Amino acid sequence: MTSSNVATTTAGISFKGRDLITWLDYTTDEVLELLSLAQYLKENPHSKVLEGKILGMIFEKSSTRTRVSFEAGMLQMGGHAIYLNARDIQLGRGESIADTARVLSSYVDGIMIRTFETEKVAQLAKYASVPVINGLCDTFHPCQALADVLTILELKGTFKGLKVVYIGDGNNVAHSFMILSAKLGMDVVVCCPEGYDPDNEIVGKTEELTGMNGGSFTLTHDPVKAVKGADIVYTDVWASMGQEEEALKRLEEFKSYQVNEHLLQHAAPNVKFLHCLPAHREEEVTAAVIDGPSSAVFQQAENRLHVQKAILQSLFV
């Protein structure tokens, strides 16, 4: 939905009433404003800014971090969140997205959805009269990516000149991380097994964004080449939700893409490791890495709370 009654932040950036489906819809300045607000809310966690506000949360995929961080964020800011399992509401029995959007819009101040098809998020946003937040779909994971770059900013103090490397499946996490890292001017490297590259259209948009913002983009199939001099190395599970039947095949095809101590020896001396979690130790990453001194995965997970609060406050108030 698009609101004509637009609120502005102190920087003059408009957010109120907007949807968050993908970071392709947001400018670099808008992303930086959200990061600044997330930093402030991390230091000042409790307020009443969302008092009386209600977030409806539709889940078609299971969740730990997304559900708890959105619920906790609403509570910390004085609001309330309602968990809606898709199997338990009429959407799971054939009610249309359009009807669901219109009905929920009359009850709540915003809708978060965690689903499969990106088109379902887009349709929900089209017919809702309140902001819609993409909590995850098969193409994008925008809230995760905002937590990722907030963590990088905290770890490194800047974005410019950083080499960030994503290794593994070219999935929704990779897509949003690529887009946001490119908007912030980082040198982005994505390394996948052949046949598991990111979406071609998203690769093209990432290349455009790096060109506009002073960074670079490289797609490679060589993990050692990819991590050479890397400041950040990021991975995700090899088989995402909905790909369970491919798990054994992927274990074989991805085994040389494991992030381990040997691979990180080729990175910068102060390299930091990220993972969106949940992790499968000894598959995509070794326990020595994810539980070691280079890992920032739990700082990254905590930051889901702070960025989601920034998104909620910006879109609702």
Active site residues: 114, 141, 144, 236, 276, 304
Residue 242 is predicted with a pLDDT of: 65
Of 141 and 247, the structure prediction assigns the larger pLDDT to 141
Residue 8 is predicted with a pLDDT of: 35
In a domain, 14, yes or no: no
Q: Are residues 202 and 276 in the same domain?
A: yes
In a domain, 228, yes or no: yes
Q: What is the CATH number of the domain that holds 205?
A: 3.40.50.1370
In a domain, 13, yes or no: no
Q: Is the pLDDT of residue 1 over 80?
A: no
User: At 304, is the pLDDT very low, low, confident or very high (cuts 50, 70, 90)?
Assistant: very high
Return the beta strands (E) in 206-302 as ranges.
Answer: 216-220, 232-235, 272-275
Residue 247 is predicted with a pLDDT of: 83
Sheet of 110-114, strand order? 80-85, 54-59, 110-114, 132-136
What mean pLDDT value characterizes the chain?
94
| Enclosing H/E stretch for 112 | strand 110-114
Q: Is the pLDDT of residue 26 over 50?
A: yes
In a domain, 284, yes or no: yes
User: At 49, is the pLDDT very low, low, confident or very high (cuts 50, 70, 90)?
Assistant: very high
Q: Are residues 285 and 152 in the same domain?
A: yes
Q: Are residues 207 and 308 in the same domain?
A: no
Q: Are residues 274 and 153 in the same domain?
A: yes
Owning domain of residue 247: 143-300
Q: Are residues 34 and 93 in the same domain?
A: yes
pLDDT tens digit sequence for 228-285: 999 999 999 998 766 677 888 999 999 999 999 999 999 999 999 999 999 999 999 9
Q: Are residues 72 and 49 in the same domain?
A: yes
pTM of the model: 0.94
The domain tally of the chain equals 2
